[in-house]
Amino acid sequence: MQTITTVAELRRALANARRAGQRVGFVPTMGYLHEGHLALVEASRAQSDLTVLSIFVNPTQFGPNEDLSTYPRDLTRDEKLCHGADVAIVFAPDAREVYPARFETFVEPGDLAKPLCGAFRPGHFRGVATVVCKLFNMVQPNVAFFGQKDFQQCAVVRHMALDLDLPIEIVTVPTVREADGLAMSSRNRYLSGEERRRAGAISRGLFAAADKFRSGERDVEKLLAIAKGHLNEVDRLQYLELVDHDTLKAAESPLSHPAALCTAAYVGSTRLIDNVILALRTS
C-alpha cells in the first residue's frame, strides 16, 4: 500500500493499472476511519481489482460555524487500517492540492440538494459535489462507493454523475451500525458516555417506524409520530422527514412508492444523521 499526496503522483501510480485494464474502485472519505468505511472498501475489493481510498477533510462542504477545524484526523491510524483492508493507494492531498490559489469553479447540484441536510447546511452539497467531481477526475475510477448513512449525498452524487456524463458506476453500501443500532460515524467520537447512550434513540426511532411500515402502516404522519416518540432522548431534532426515495420530495399518504425516513439530530453539540429505507414489496 502507498500513500500519495499529489495528483501527478496519483496519475503515475494508476497509469500502469489502467494500461493493464484493471478495474479501479474508489472510496472517498474524510478519514478517521471506522467499520462503515471498511465496508465500502470491502465492497470495492469485491467489485474491482484495485482500491483507492481518499482522505480529505473538504473545507468547501463545511459552513462557517461547523466543525472543520475540530474534525477528527489520524492519518497514521487510517493508513494501518487501509493496509489491513487491502487498499492499494491512500490518496491524502492537502487543501492546496485540491483547491489551488484562484480556484473558482464549482459544481452546483439541483433540487436533490435542497431538502433535508441541504436546508440546514447551505452550500454543503455544492461543496460535496465539487470535491467528489474533482476526486473522480483525479482518480478516474470505474466504480465509486458511498454509504447509505449519507442518503442525500448518495442521491446528489448519483445525479451529478448522470447529469455530467461521468463514466463511473455509483454504488451505495448499507449503513454499518454499532450493537445498539447507532450508525457508525467519525463524529460519534465527540459524544460523552451519557450522550453516546442517548444517541441510540435515533436508530431506535427509525427502526420502530420501519417495523410499523413492514406490518402495513402506510400513513406518513403516523410513521413520523412513531419515530418521533423515541427521539425525545436527543437534545434537538433538526429534521425528521419521510421523503420519496428518488426525488427526496415529501412523501404522501398512503405510501405507494419507496420512501426514506431521514433524520438529523443533535446529541449534546454533536449533529448526527441517519435514515432507513421503506421499500414496498414489488411482488
Ligand X SMILES: Nc1ncnc2c1ncn2[C@@H]1O[C@H](COP(=O)(O)OP(=O)(O)OP(=O)(O)O)[C@@H](O)[C@H]1O
Ligand Y SMILES: CC(C)(CO)[C@@H](O)C(=O)[O-]
Binding-site residues for (R)-pantoate sit at 61, 153
Structural contact between residues 186 and 159, judged by C-beta atoms closer than 8 angstroms: no
Provide the greatest CA pair distance for the chain.
56
Question: 3-class SS at 237?
Answer: strand
131 interface partner picked from ligand X, ligand Y, ligand BAL, none, CB below 5 to 8 A per type: ligand Y
Known binding-site positions for beta-alanine: 61
User: Taking CB positions, which residue lies at the least distance from ligand X?
Assistant: 147
Known binding-site positions: 30-37, 61, 147-150, 153, 176, 184-187
State yes or no: residue 188 binds ligand Y (CB under 6 A): no
Structural contact between residues 275 and 151, judged by C-beta atoms closer than 8 angstroms: yes
Least gap, CB of 2 to ligand X (angstroms)? 20
CA 114, 115, 117, 122 torsion: positive or negative? positive
Burial class of residue 72, CB neighbours in 10 A (0-12, 13-18, 19+):
middle
* Of 37, 124, 159, 230, catalytic: 37
173 interface partner picked from ligand BAL, ligand X, ligand Y, none, CB below 5 to 8 A per type: ligand X
55 interface partner picked from ligand Y, ligand X, ligand BAL, none, CB below 5 to 8 A per type: none
Q: Identify which of residues 174 and 229 has a Cβ nearer to ligand BAL in the complex.
A: 174
State yes or no: residue 168 binds ligand Y (CB under 6 A): no
State yes or no: residue 58 binds ligand Y (CB under 6 A): yes
The residues that touch ligand X, with contacts defined as CB under 6 A, are 29-30, 36-37, 39-40, 146-147, 149-150, 173, 175-176, 183-187
124 catalytically annotated: no
State yes or no: residue 112 binds ligand Y (CB under 6 A): no
Least gap, CB of 61 to ligand BAL (angstroms)? 5
CA 19, 20, 23, 29 torsion: positive or negative? negative
Lateral strand order in the sheet of 259-267: 236-244, 259-267, 270-278
Classify residue 278 by its DSSP letter.
E
The residue among 232, 233, 222 whose CA lies nearest residue 261 is 222
Q: Identify which of residues 166 and 224 has a Cβ nearer to ligand X in the complex.
A: 166
Least gap, CB of 75 to ligand BAL (angstroms)? 18
Q: How many Å separate Cα 104 from the centre of its chain?
A: 25
The residues that touch ligand BAL, with contacts defined as CB under 6 A, are 30, 61, 150
State yes or no: residue 109 binds ligand Y (CB under 6 A): no
Residue found by looking up cell 433540487 in the block = 111
- The residues, ordered by sequence, that sit 6+ positions from 101 with a Cβ below 8 Å of its Cβ are none
How many whole angstroms separate alpha carbon 66 and alpha carbon 239?
17
State yes or no: residue 275 binds ligand Y (CB under 6 A): no
Cβ burial 27-46 (10 Å sphere, 16+ → b, else e): bbbbbbbbebbbbbbbbbbe
Q: Identify which of residues 185 and 217 has a Cβ nearer to ligand X in the complex.
A: 185
State yes or no: residue 150 binds ligand Y (CB under 6 A): yes
Q: Identify which of residues 4 and 184 has a Cβ nearer to ligand X in the complex.
A: 184
The residue among 226, 178, 175 whose CA lies nearest residue 205 is 226
Q: Identify which of residues 13 and 119 has a Cβ nearer to ligand BAL in the complex.
A: 119
Q: What are the catalytic residues? A: 37
